[in-house]
Amino acid sequence: MAHKIILDTDPGIDDAMAIFFAFQSPDIEVLGLTTVYGNVPVTMSAQNALTLCELADQDIPVTKGVGMPWVGPESGYAHFVHGDDGFGNIDFPASKRELDPRSSAQYIVDMARQHPGEITLVAIGPLGNLALALRLEPELPNLVKGVVIMGGAAFVKGNVTPVAEANIWNDAHAAEIVFAAPWDLKMFGLDVTNDVPFTLDFLDELETKNPKLGGFVKKSSQFYVDFYSQDRDDRVCFFHDAMPLAYLVDPSLFEFTRGHARVSTDPLNKGQTTVAPEGSTPSPLWLEAQQIDAATKVDHDRLRKLYIDTYSY
């Protein structure tokens, strides 16, 4: 039986690769795309999601969500990673499809009520939409099957600050709300996503297996590869956002550490995700924190094969 998911996203080059993976997988049913600011402003994020749906011939709802952090001023955007258009400046024609009129948070709540216990929320951008959905419906953790996110850095350094990963740093207060909720949360952070570089040969193979969708990923990724290949001898990039989706298809790809987790909202350490493994601390402040499963290892070769095989469908 396919996993019913709502995919919360800020497309984004690696978001595009992940979204196509979800669309292609026979094990995943994407009910809708909810969009959030992050890699790009939220209006562009929503437009890009519509474009990806049209390219993939997917007629599903797309909603526009939060465009600001839970606390503080508007964030800067990762134009130096994803380009000014979020797609590596390839000037791809924008879809003329219409957005669903609901907010992303309201859509999440509506669908969770409609399909109680069936939906997995997959969040691959900042967590503002999930935090707002929790405010709209405090029973949300009892209405969804679980939450899998791309974000954080449990036992490795950050990529925006020495301690923080971009998605969590972008909306640390929202992330703390999401991490504190009593649901089954699995985190795929830099511990695993930065461990698997993807070469140009991988992009070539994606295009060969699926000229339409893989070709889009290859073309848009050239800008992305330029960013990641600075100060390296090889040309690579990292498809962070597809890993939570790969987990749904094949959980055996990953190893996890279970522990109590908190997100720092302190200005100096904003967005730091700290995981205290079970039995590692007697501190009440930590023992009261919700437990999550943080991915710490991934089978590189099998993960690559899963991506390629899925793009072949």
240 is catalytic: yes
What Cα–Cα distance (Å) separates residue 83 from each residue in 56, 179, 208? 21, 30, 24
Active-site option among 3, 8, 10, 82: 10
Q: Which residue has the tokens 């695993």?
A: 192
3 is catalytic: no
Active-site option among 3, 173, 240, 260: 240
Does the CA dihedral 29-31-36-40 come out positive or negative? positive
**SS3 for the chain, per residue?**
CCEEEEEEECCCHHHHHHHHHHHHCCCEEEEEEEECCCCCCHHHHHHHHHHHHHHCCCCCCEEECCCCCCCCCCCCCCHHHHCCCCCCCCCCCCCCCCCCCCEHHHHHHHHHHHCCCCEEEEECCCCHHHHHHHHHCCCHHHHCCEEEEECCCCCCCCCCCCCECHHHHHCHHHHHHHHHCCCCEEEECHHHHCCCCEEHHHHHHHHHHCCCHHHHHHHHHHHHHHHHCCCCCCCEECCHHHHHHHHHHCHHHEEEEEEEEEECCCCCCCCEEEEEECCCCCCHHHHCCCEEEEEEEECHHHHHHHHHHHHCC
Annotated catalytic sites, by residue? 10, 240
